[in-house]
């Protein structure tokens, strides 16, 4: 017995137990064939297991299903195919209904998305929850991605959610900028769900998520590390690892090195030749010396047109669609020439056709280009930022400045080689 579990899959506890004891049985009884399986391949695999162990199948409520006879075997294959066809047709109808509803902008399921209500089948912003979400995002920016502080804030202000996974999901939810991802194919839909925050705030938090500072072990009050998460090796492009040591004076000393080179030293596994580590204070001095010049070069090289809707790179998608259509034609020829059986044909046809249906809507999709704000970089150049303002920052403020300005810092042999701005 597998109560409440679909017969379209073999991942069923009762079925697995029965198959594990098949050597003890002479006959397998079930009420109707679609209660045993709705998949041609699975049903035939089970039948082979039964026949190899000299066991047969019989349906209690269907007299014509009996694999001990030739007619019974024929009816078995026929009805399994019909059951699979019915479940696939049902799936197609459901997907068509969902697609129709989405084209009209209607919600296809009643599942609650935090920040939204469903009113008359449409997603509507819940203003109270919207404020809570925006406050959370702004707090993440304020504390510079400090994991412990963010989770403490989340526990206090979102008591209906209690897990780290809930926090991660909320901080990565594209619905909040009006991009809805379908659960069936992963397709991104625009202008389907209203945006409840600005693109700039969302992207700022995503950048911080990638650079969150890890809490070091064995430290009750760990030091703030300025560049954890944004240092990269210029040789192998891997992230730098962080090392914290305590000096005799009791002060912390923070240094960084390429983790692949660091791994090489202790495991004799040469993966990177860039073995030199560097102290955090030296990186900071180098960055301050080169910052203004790098910002000027960065701003002068900007050629992007802001605020437009640009076409998605569809060349790969079109190539994939063409390849799938070619595979379907070849598959048909193989079946017509009797080089493959019907089950193999149906299985491969469904696989290729499903992928084709997923890709076709993406053929002419466009992606909204986010307008970037370069006012901070411009302000740094205008003022004597590095000599006057920066030295007045606390450690936390310094880290927030670096991760909100730079995306990646490439290092080699103890020197800053290049910078990648956000």
Calculate the CA dihedral of residues 408, 413, 417, 422 and round it to 10 degrees.
10
Q: Is the pLDDT of residue 312 over 60?
A: no
- Tokens at residue 224, please? 């703030």
Q: What is the mean pLDDT of residues 127-142?
A: 92
Q: Reduced to 3 states, what is the DSSP secondary structure of residue 352?
A: helix
Rounded to whole angstroms, the Cα distance separating 210 from 229 reads 7
Where is average pLDDT lowest: 164-178, 198-212, 294-308? 294-308
Q: Is the pLDDT of residue 121 over 60?
A: yes
State residue 397's pLDDT score: 85
Question: Is the four-CA dihedral 207, 210, 211, 212 of positive or negative sign?
Answer: positive
- Does CATH place domain 13-103 in 3.40.50.300? no
Q: Which residues, 6+ apart, have CB-to-CB distance to 30 below 8 Å? A: 36, 57, 59, 60
CA-derived radius of gyration, the chain: 30
Rounded to whole angstroms, the Cα distance separating 347 from 364 reads 29
Closest CA to 202 of 147, 155, 146, 134: 134
Q: DSSP secondary-structure letter at 418?
A: E
Asked if residue 30 lies in contact with residue 38, where contact means CB atoms within 8 angstroms, the answer is no
Asked if residue 280 lies in contact with residue 227, where contact means CB atoms within 8 angstroms, the answer is yes
**Residue written as tokens 């079946």?**
335
State residue 136's pLDDT score: 94
pLDDT band at 310 (very low <50, low <70, confident <90, very high): very low
Phi, psi (5° rounding) for residue 140? -60, -45
Q: Reduced to 3 states, what is the DSSP secondary structure of residue 10?
A: coil
pLDDT band at 137 (very low <50, low <70, confident <90, very high): very high
State residue 131's pLDDT score: 94
Alpha helices in 211-279 (DSSP H): 259-267
DSSP of 110-125, one letter per residue? ----TTEEEETTEEEE
State residue 171's pLDDT score: 92
Q: Is the pLDDT of residue 407 over 90?
A: no
Q: Is the pLDDT of residue 91 over 90?
A: no
From first CA to last CA, the distance across the chain in angstroms is 57
DSSP of 276-317, one letter per residue? --EEHHHHHHHHHHHHHHHHHHHHHT--PPTT-EEE---HHH
pLDDT band at 159 (very low <50, low <70, confident <90, very high): confident
Q: What is the mean pLDDT of residues 355-363?
A: 66
Q: What is the mean pLDDT of residues 363-369?
A: 48
Asked if residue 209 lies in contact with residue 246, where contact means CB atoms within 8 angstroms, the answer is no
Rounded to whole angstroms, the Cα distance separating 145 from 124 reads 29
Average pLDDT of the chain to the nearest whole number: 79
- Tokens at residue 404, please? 């909100």
Q: Is the pLDDT of residue 303 over 60?
A: no
Q: Is the pLDDT of residue 305 over 70?
A: no
Closest CA to 289 of 390, 379, 375, 374: 390
Q: Is the pLDDT of residue 217 over 60?
A: no
Higher-confidence residue: 306 or 336?
336
Length of the chain: 422
Where is average pLDDT lowest: 55-64, 117-126, 180-189, 343-352? 180-189
Q: Reduced to 3 states, what is the DSSP secondary structure of residue 190?
A: strand
Q: Which residues, 6+ apart, have CB-to-CB distance to 73 below 8 Å? A: 67
**Residue written as tokens 């469904």?**
350
Provide, rounded to the nearest whole percent, the portion of the chain with pLDDT above 70: 84
Q: What is the mean pLDDT of residues 98-114?
A: 78
**Residue written as tokens 């030091």?**
223
Where is average pLDDT lowest: 44-58, 133-147, 216-230? 216-230
State residue 304's pLDDT score: 47
Higher-confidence residue: 86 or 31?
31
Q: Is the pLDDT of residue 8 over 70?
A: no
pLDDT band at 116 (very low <50, low <70, confident <90, very high): very high
Rounded to whole angstroms, the Cα distance separating 403 from 422 reads 9
- Tokens at residue 206, please? 């995503």
Task: Tell me which range, 68-72, 120-124, 366-370, is most confidently predicted by mean pLDDT.
Answer: 120-124
User: What is the value of pTM for the model shown?
Assistant: 0.52
**Quick one: CATH architecture of 116-212?**
Alpha-Beta Complex (3.90)
Asked if residue 17 lies in contact with residue 5, where contact means CB atoms within 8 angstroms, the answer is no
pLDDT band at 386 (very low <50, low <70, confident <90, very high): confident
Q: Is the pLDDT of residue 138 over 50?
A: yes
């Amino acid at each position: 017995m597998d109560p409440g579990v679909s017969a379209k899959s073999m991942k069923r506890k009762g079925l697995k137990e029965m198959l594990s004891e098949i050597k003890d049985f002479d006959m397998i009884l079930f009420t109707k064939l679609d209660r045993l399986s709705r998949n041609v391949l699975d049903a035939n695999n089970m039948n082979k297991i039964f026949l190899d162990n000299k066991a047969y199948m019989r349906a209690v409520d269907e007299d014509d299903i009996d694999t001990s006879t030739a007619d019974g075997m024929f009816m078995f294959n026929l009805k399994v195919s019909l059951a699979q066809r019915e479940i696939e047709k049902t799936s197609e109808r459901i997907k068509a209904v969902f697609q129709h509803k989405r084209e009209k902008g209607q919600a296809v399921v009643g599942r609650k998305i935090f920040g939204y209500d469903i009113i008359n089948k449409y997603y509507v912003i819940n203003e109270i929850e919207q404020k809570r979400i925006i406050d959370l995002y702004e707090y993440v920016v304020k504390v510079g991605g400090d994991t412990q502080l963010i989770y403490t804030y989340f526990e206090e202000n979102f008591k209906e959610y209690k897990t780290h996974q809930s926090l991660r999901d909320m901080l990565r939810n594209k619905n909040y900028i009006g991009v809805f991802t379908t659960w069936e194919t992963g397709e991104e839909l625009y202008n389907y769900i209203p945006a409840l925050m600005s693109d700039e705030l969302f992207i700022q938090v995503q950048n911080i998520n990638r650079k969150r500072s890890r809490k070091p072990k064995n430290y009750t009050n760990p030091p703030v590390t300025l560049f954890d998460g944004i240092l990269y090796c210029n040789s192998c492009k891997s992230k730098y690892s962080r090392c914290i040591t305590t000096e005799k004076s009791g002060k912390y000393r923070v240094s960084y090195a390429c983790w692949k080179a660091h791994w090489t030293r202790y495991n004799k596994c040469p993966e990177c030749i860039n073995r030199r580590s560097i102290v955090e204070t030296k990186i900071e001095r180098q960055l301050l010396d080169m910052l203004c010049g790098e910002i000027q070069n960065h701003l002068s090289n900007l050629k992007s047109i802001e605020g437009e809707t640009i076409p998605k790179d569809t060349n790969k998608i079109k190539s994939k669609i063409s390849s799938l259509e070619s595979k379907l034609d070849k598959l048909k020829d193989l079946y017509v020439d009797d080089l493959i059986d019907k089950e193999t044909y149906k299985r491969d046809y469904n696989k290729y056709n499903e992928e084709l249906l997923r890709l076709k809507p993406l053929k002419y999709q466009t992606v909204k280009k986010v307008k970037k704000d370069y006012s901070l970089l411009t302000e740094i150049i205008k003022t004597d930022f590095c000599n006057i303002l920066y030295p007045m920052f606390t450690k936390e403020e310094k880290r927030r400045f670096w991760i909100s300005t730079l995306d990646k810092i490439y290092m080699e042999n103890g020197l800053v080689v290049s910078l990648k701005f956000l």
